[in-house]
Amino acid sequence: MKAGLLEQYNMEQRKSFSRSTSSSGLRPRRESSNSSRSSSSSRPRTGGASSGTSRSYSSSRQKTDATSAPRAFSSRPPLGRTFNASRGGSSRGSGKRGPRKGQHIDISRFINKTVITEEAVVFTPEHLFKDFIIDERLKANILTKGYNEPTPIQDRVIPHILHGHDLVGIANTGTGKTAAFLIPLINKVLANPKEKVIVMAPTRELAQQIEMELKGFVKGFKIFSVCCVGGAAIGRQISDLRYQHNFIIGTPGRIKDLIERKCINLADFKSVVLDEADRMLDMGFIHDMRYMLALMPKERHTLFFSATLSPEIGALIKDFLKEPVMVSVKTQDTSKNVEQDVVKIKSGEDKLEVLHDLLIQPEFKKVLIFGRTKHGVEKLAVALGKKGFKAQSIHGDKNQGQRQRALDTFKKGMAQILVATDVAARGLDIAGVSHVINFDIPETYDDYVHRIGRTGRAGQKGKALTFI
């Protein structure tokens, strides 16, 4: 490229970086089966980064010049433009999302950037778990799980739910909102064994995680649940629904299928939870949510939990909740426990080789890597396996059994690496994730927040790296 053209290119990039974050208006996309073009393998490697290279990620204490032109790699668009990626999900029940638009994301937001949405305050709980007016048997199970002091969302919403108030809870991911609604609802079932509760979640993984936590709280009680998600055999779920159960936990698409098959009668359910309601809207479940809420009794107990409060969520609240209590404990978009940085890929460098040189470092003990497409994620996991890493993958093309086995292998430490599409960005609670790596840049900043929220959980420190 001639000097004059290069100068013009750099000037265009500086202008692009100075624009404020905004949606692009590009056409809707879905996760594609085409190659991601980001996981090509090359020569085998056995050692660390060679001397003289600049493959280590930059210190988070260094200032980033957001006006400098980024280096292009592969055939990806230069930074500062809209990131336009294919997105995921294979069925309604497994997390199919509706159309979403790409978003301009300034790279400075990937480097220890925290966006304050409310004034942060030092939290002092008003209650201990032993103070809540709940069944003593439930209280004993809570203490056995090691819970003593509630998190902010738990401290503020449990009393309202115990009093039967409709509620809207605004909180970040990983703040303990699952226990915040499960504990008072379990108490309600203990007081009235005929009480039935339905919990809707956006993804299979989140629904399964909610059921797992429920089972921990109800150990020794005759309280049963059915998990209804896509990607799993519907026949088994139909069979389980014939037996006694107090809780149905599932994804909107599969629950709707079971309603249409006359296997679930929502008239029997007087308590409903919509967890991560904003995510369900993003994934195109708005009509399913409205359909199911309309089938429930008018006199019911309705709980909404969301990380954001959009106009669409506001419309649902107005239509389906009665004088709800609004509780917001969201203080920042990204966790203070997550150190964020970027990995700059120079022109001509192989992203896979750069990733290899990071993963062989001893501090990369348990790594969650995010890619954009199902095909790209699978290709990357296979490539890492050929390089000697123990890697698993989860994406919309895998059935529920395959996804669960991959997650279990990663959780138990039998695999160092889990490669995933954004279907795993919300809801996964995996202890000890040391690093989140954005191998492909997320489509929106909200996706970025939820990706990196998989590390730095439960007071632990974590690191998030984004390839640019």
Instruction: Read off the tokens for 224.
Output: 């049963």
Largest CA-CA distance found in the chain, in angstroms, rounded? 78
Tell me the pLDDT tens digit for each residue of 11-44: 544 444 344 333 333 333 334 333 333 444 443 3
Let me know: does 370 contact 376? Beta carbons within 8 Å.
Answer: no
Q: How far apart are the first and last CA of the chain?
A: 21
The 10 Å CB-count burial string (b at 16+, else e) for 213-251 is bbeebbeebebebbbbbbbbebeebbebeeeeebbbbbb
pLDDT band at 279 (very low <50, low <70, confident <90, very high): confident
Single-letter residue type at 43: R
Q: Going by DSSP bridges, is the β-strand pair 367-370/435-438 parallel, antiparallel, or unpaired?
A: parallel
Tell me the pLDDT tens digit for each residue of 357-378: 999 999 999 999 999 999 999 9
d(CA 185, CA 394): 31
pLDDT band at 400 (very low <50, low <70, confident <90, very high): confident
d(CA 456, CA 459): 7
Q: Going by DSSP bridges, is the β-strand pair 225-228/247-250 parallel, antiparallel, or unpaired?
A: parallel
d(CA 239, CA 226): 10
Q: What is the mean pLDDT of residues 214-221?
A: 95
Tell me: pLDDT of 243 over 90: yes
Tell me: pLDDT of 146 over 70: yes
d(CA 382, CA 395): 14
Instruction: Write down the pLDDT at residue 332.
Output: 58
Q: How far is CA 420 from CA 212, 317, 320, 396, 410, in A?
A: 21, 32, 35, 9, 12
Q: Which residues contact 450 (CB under 8 A, 6 or more apart)?
A: 173, 307, 422, 425, 426
* Percent of residues, the chain, with pLDDT higher than 70: 72
Of 21-30, 133-142, 409-418, 452-461, where does mean pLDDT reach its minimum?
21-30
Instruction: Write down the pLDDT at residue 226.
Output: 97
Q: Which residues contact 179 (CB under 8 A, 6 or more apart)?
A: 147, 154, 213, 217
Tell me the pLDDT tens digit for each residue of 316-344: 899 999 999 999 886 555 567 788 999 99
Instruction: Read off the tokens for 16.
Output: 């692009």
Domain 129-328 class in CATH? alpha beta
Find, among 366, 430, 358, 414, the residue nearest to 387 by Cα.
Answer: 358
Q: Which residues contact 281 (CB under 8 A, 6 or more apart)?
A: 289, 310, 312, 313
Phi, psi torsion values for 271, nearest 5 degrees: -135, 135
In angstroms and rounded to an integer, the radius of gyration of the C-alpha atoms of the chain is: 23
Domains 3-115+335-467 and 129-328 are alike in CATH topology: yes
Instruction: Read off the tokens for 29.
Output: 């996309």
Q: Which residues contact 223 (CB under 8 A, 6 or more apart)?
A: 186, 189, 190, 246, 247
Let me know: does 81 contact 297? Beta carbons within 8 Å.
Answer: no
Find, among 408, 411, 417, the residue nearest to 439 by Cα.
Answer: 417
Tell me: pLDDT of 8 over 60: no
Cβ atoms within 10 Å of 356's Cβ, excluding its own: 24
Domain 3-115+335-467 class in CATH? alpha beta
Tell me: pLDDT of 48 over 60: no
Q: Which residue's structure tokens are 């079932």?
A: 189
Instruction: Write down the pLDDT at residue 334.
Output: 58
Which pTM value belongs to this model? 0.60
Instruction: Read off the tokens for 438.
Output: 């954005």
Could you tell me if residue 179 is left (phi over 0), alpha (psi between -120 and 50 degrees) or otherwise beta? alpha
Query: Is the C-alpha dihedral spanning 256, 257, 262, 268 positive or negative?
Result: negative
Q: Beta partners for 23?
A: 103
Q: Beta partners for 419?
A: 369, 393
pLDDT band at 403 (very low <50, low <70, confident <90, very high): confident
Every domain of the chain and the residues it spans: 3-115+335-467, 129-328
d(CA 177, CA 158): 10
